[in-house]
Amino acid sequence: MSRHILLHSVAIDESMMNRRNTMIRNAILVFILTTLPLTLAAKGDSSAGKDKAKICEACHGADGKSVDPSYPNLAGQYESYLIKALGDYRAGRRTNPVMAGMATSLSDQDILDLAAWYSSQQGLKDLSIK
């Protein structure tokens, strides 16, 4: 009798563990499936960036080559640098009244697209020392 109860409780434990394992497996699957599109989307689209850069042209030039020395050139700048700079202006870590105003309305995707656009232009990046 007591042996029967013992076997029975082992069987219950196993079925609970199986259920727990299935739940964990499902949770991992859901996590992967929901984060996958985000990681795929977290890439800049340079042609979308080109459109979004229209409002930047007035100062930074049509393709990131500035119209005036008081505005930095963006053409050919490292993508990661541009993403950081725009994120910093938006967060207020880097303060400049003009760029703070420009960056507040940018979404994460806008920043990625703009960075993809400017970094793909001919310009900076020539690191040769003459």
Cβ–Cβ contacts within 10 Å for residue 56, how many?
Answer: 19
| Residues in binding contact with ligand HEC, number by CB under 6 A | 16
Candidates 11-19, 29-37, 40-48, 69-77: pick the segment binding ligand HEC (CB under 6 A).
69-77
Q: Does 99 bind ligand HEC (CB under 6 A)?
A: yes
Structure tokens at 121: 């232009």
Taking the C-alpha atoms of residue 130 and residue 121, their distance in angstroms, rounded to an integer, is 22
Q: Does 74 bind ligand HEC (CB under 6 A)?
A: yes
| Most distant CA atoms of the chain, gap in Å | 92
Judged by the rule CB under 6 A, the positions of this chain that interact with ligand HEC are 55-56, 58-60, 71-72, 74, 82, 85-86, 96, 98-99, 102, 114
